[in-house]
Copies of this chain bind each other. A is one copy, B any other.
Amino acid sequence: MRARTRRAILDAAVATLSKDPGASLSDVAAAAGVGRTTIHRYFPERSDLITAIGNDVLERIAAATARARPTEGPALQALDRLCQEYFELGDGLMLAFTEPQLVVSDMWEEETPSDRALIELIERGQAEGAIDAELPADWMQQVVWSLLYSAWQHIRDSGASKHEALGLCLRSLRKAVAA
């Protein structure tokens, strides 16, 4: 089925490029278990594949944000939920974090609704007195993403389980943002 191979290619591309941003289309094809020509059928040029990845990751982030319901309940708990959802993005998270220029389409330059939601959540926490008001929201946003990145990196080179890594990430984050 068309949609099925397309997904296989996108997933393989995210996995491959997150490990080596300079990987060739042959590498992606091999990882996806399809021929190189098949990739060109779905994405005529390399740049088409790249932007498709960008859109895909963007959609995943938006969906994760929605699932976390960032405007509901105490800010700290909402932040926990958001991190747990983002954490599940896995490779896509690494890619978005370390390859800004790789995935930069028009949509990434401007602030995305998900970015906005996180910023507002942090500001809400600051208003509630639950989150340190001395640290600017955009800095904390940076910290959230880098701790999530650290969690996956920790899994990769310390062989920790996903559960352990998420636990360390959340604990560190809670302490860092605490009022």
Residues of A participating in the B interface, judged by any CB pair closer than 8 Å: 19-22, 98, 101, 132, 134-136, 138-139, 142-143, 146-147, 149-150, 153-154, 158, 168, 171-173, 175-176, 178
Report how far A91 CA is from B72 CA in the complex, Å. 40
Report how far A62 CA is from B37 CA in the complex, Å. 48
8 Å CB contact of A134 from B19, B20, B143, B171 = B171
The number of times this chain is found in the oligomer is: 2
The list of the 4 closest CB pairs from A to B, nearest first, reads A146-B146, A176-B176, A146-B150, A142-B150
Pairs A–B under 8 Å by Cβ, sample size 6? A21-B22, A98-B98, A135-B168, A138-B158, A143-B147, A146-B147
Report how far A20 CA is from B104 CA in the complex, Å. 13
20 additional contacts (CB under 8 A) given A98-B98, A135-B171, A139-B172: A19-B101, A20-B101, A21-B21, A21-B22, A132-B175, A135-B168, A135-B172, A136-B168, A138-B154, A138-B158, A139-B154, A139-B158, A142-B154, A143-B172, A146-B146, A146-B149, A175-B175, A175-B176, A175-B178, A176-B176
